Structure 1
């Protein structure tokens, strides 16, 4: 009789563990290129913890950011809605209105919002209403004080302010000069500190469902690394005989080889922080019923600000509508539901993560969402309904890109530039992942159909179109040109 009671009790506990609401841990890395991870092909950077996450979960080969720069993508992740609906279409910090624009460009960038409105409903607000403890650590960049994470549903905020990077006195090392993060002991490193804060939150809330959003400041500039990790990658670069190589993505130089030691050290520091949080889940026996999502806010930085990484075979990088600017890492692990080692080719986007979390936790949305739940894919229950993915970036970023919009439907991708001098670009990504063969002239009917669909979407989301700049002077530099500081090309020497 005792054995029967014990058996029934064990069965009940097992059933409860699978029927309980899952915990959710979300890792959002800043400026991490898809090809910066070992599980996506990098052989110079070392990311064993993220690679483990991919082996134990599902890796998406066609994961996409909602925008080639940070703030709009972050708004999309938080709301499950296209960033154009939130009004945030550029990184918060550039001139908000056309009249503040000083660069000599053909167009005036469209106006945009400098904060995530309180009326927008975030993941944290929805999960908090469903009984979850909520936590945020790291980069916010979605508004000033009064619009910080604690004003958007997060009960705890460790480091989330208006800044786009760690720009305090010690930058990535204490003192942080961050009003939402106290300084640590000498030598403390920001990613490890934020991981410690996340682990503390998980430990304190292990008895109830929790949602931890770990939004890395890494690997955004300033480029700064732990001395020990820097020495490791300087030695590795020398051992492998790697040298910097650059090509052109007009009007910018673009890095072609992953060999930047400082950047590599930053990538590993990020990976170590991920590993620290995963280890805490293991220690507490929470890993099996914790939904873990790992992604980045845009592609890797390859044409500006230190030129730290290469996105090859993807073209371009952060700030561009080419694949290097918008394709990102997308990894989801949930051992209780997701088969380990799955590789999924279906295109997915930032707007899909919130619907997925809601479906996994049994939480209803209080607003209309643009994304779809990925649970059917994750459970192996079939593919998603056919749909297109869209991008609309009516701005001149800091990385050399120009205002434009794009649509991907199936294997086809159309880029439509707002500067009328630029021709539309159409690529078949199945045959031409590097976007080298523009098929727009051969596929004019397809261009027409995809452009009509793109414009219909722009109308639906209220996308703003940049206007002609009356002060533009074609005889003067337009501010998009830039060469890396160590350039030794003939053009650079001639310019000197």
Structure 2
């Protein structure tokens, strides 16, 4: 049919070109921030950190107030986004590089620190999984990643072998390479990154990754593309420009802020947002995001570009400098409480998503895969995205049926968290802590901070959620923590 049309006259050809331009598949720009807490941006309640570009994005799109990462640490959540599966389905349940139980078991001192032996896990995204990048590439999309990957140590598991045409900065490391002996300067060039050429000395990584993303979009503005802008920010090491640090030093002094610290279990937890370097990093992240959003508008592709903004786990509020606070949420990165898994999420898609809208329906990171396919009118792959469900109806201001969401983290987090599984169904959330075989039940509608354990007051709801959680774990062949061998 196309060959016949091409032999027509010039005016007819011009019409065909115009039609093809109008019919161009939508682009997808997926912005994933590392370790950004639910309350770390202005539209989600922060008054110390300044994020005008993210605020503008929220005013132009839909803000999700109950969006969840599939895990309280990074690699499993990132694997869930790429695969559309729960991490437990692939047994990718801990951050890639965490010690396996065999290594823990060798040190007898660990019996005191780890009352149970944590579960084993697979430390790479299996190549048999058809990633969202591979699915879109098959559909004719040009695919690109700028930034963090952290889904396998060996090169064969890196982005260019998982569906990405261009890889700018994605390899096995989960944070910028700060190694003074080798002159690698973390967030500042030289980066020591095998997938990102060094820029001028002192170049700041977020701005470089934004520039790489903008160059890719400019080169592909007339073709459908998938740009995965996966920032290393705001993960440690804490580094930012002296100009922004000084800005927040003055702001902290003006507001009379001090570092307020409490307790979460046996570890300290930050109770307020006052860290000046972290604040500078958040604003720098916002500036980089703004550069990408501005480029989309400059290229005239804004109406035909689906933009997703998300984080891979909760903010770092315990240990490792505890630079941020997730209040009113409890806990943070590495914890099964809301502070570890509830994320800031915004979706902008002009002519589909109502500007300034808010959605309170719970969603999870596994949902992105089928949602993107659904939004682009591409066939779903039910055998692949088994843990996700398309939330396109929510983007179109329609309702979705309630469904339970699940988590399984049978490990000890570096941040003080312990092995646990959880389920949220409606407003109810049940956590099973394996070390003491203990359950906690919370009504998140009335108690977003998870202060009141209602297990004893609501035995019927507790038993219902127990059965849901146990049935799910069984269906997923979940590996559980074990007692030590004597």
Superposed displacement of residue 19, structure 1: 4.1
Q: CA deviation at 1:241?
A: 0.8
Matches within 5 A, 1:81-120: 81-101=85-105, 102=107, 103=110, 104-120=113-129
Q: Does 2:49 align with 1:45?
A: yes
One of 404, 412, 415 as aligned partner of 1:396: 412
Determine the structure 1 residue equivalent to 2:140: 131
Partner of 2:9: none
How far residue 336 of structure 1 moved from its aligned partner, in angstroms, is 2.7
Q: Does the 8 Å contact 2:129/2:384 carry over to 1?
A: no
- Alignment of structure 1 residues 352-371 onto 2, 5 Å: 352-366=367-381, 367-369=383-385, 370-371=387-388
Residue 368 of structure 1 deviates from its aligned partner by 3.3
Displacement of 1:87 in angstroms is: 1.6
1:445-460 map, 5 Å: 445-460=460-475
CA deviation after TM superposition for structure 1 residue 9, in Å = 12
What is the distance in 2 between the residues matched to 1:13 and 1:28? Answer: 35
Q: Separation in 2 of the partners of 1:200 and 1:424?
A: 50
Partner of residue 378, structure 1? 395
Q: Which residue of structure 1 aligns with residue 156 of structure 2?
A: 146
RMSD: 1.7
Residue 62 of structure 1 aligns to a residue in which SS?
strand
The unaligned stretches of length 5 or more in structure 2 are: 1-11, 179-183
The SS at the match of 1:424 is strand
Deviations 1:445-487 (A, max 9, x none): 211110111011111222110101246xxxxxxxxxxxxxxxx
Q: So what's the TM-score if we normalise by structure 2?
A: 0.92
1:414 maps onto 2:430 in alignment: yes
Structure 2 distance, partners of 1:99, 1:179, is 28
Q: Which of 27, 34, 38 in structure 2 is aligned with 1:30?
A: 34
State how 1:244-263 maps to structure 2 within 5 Å.
244-263=259-278
Shift of 1:105: 1.1
SS of 1:271's equivalent in the other structure is: helix
Partner of 1:406, secondary structure, is: strand
Cα distance between partner residues in 2 of 1:296 and 1:114: 21
Calculate the TM-score normalised by the size of structure 1.
Answer: 0.91
CA distance in 1, matches of 2:440, 2:228: 37
Cα shift at 1:258:
0.3
Point out where structure 1 has 5 or more consecutive residues left out of the alignment: 1-7, 472-496
> Do the aligned residues in 2 keep the contact of 1:18 with 1:336 (CA within 8 Å)?
no
Look up the SS of the partner of 1:36 in the other structure: coil
Q: How many residues align?
A: 462
Sort the Cα spacing of 1:81 and 1:241 in 2 relative to 1 into closer, same or farther, 3 A. Answer: same
CA contact (8 A) 1:98 1:110 kept: no
Aligned residue in 2 for 1:5: none
Paired residue secondary structure (1:467): coil
**Following the alignment from structure 1 to structure 2, what is the Cα–Cα distance between the partners of residues 438 and 402?**
18
Q: 1:107 to 1:56 in 2, by over 3 A?
A: same
| Deviation (angstroms), 1:372 | 1.1
1:132–1:211 CA contact under 8 A, matched in 2: yes
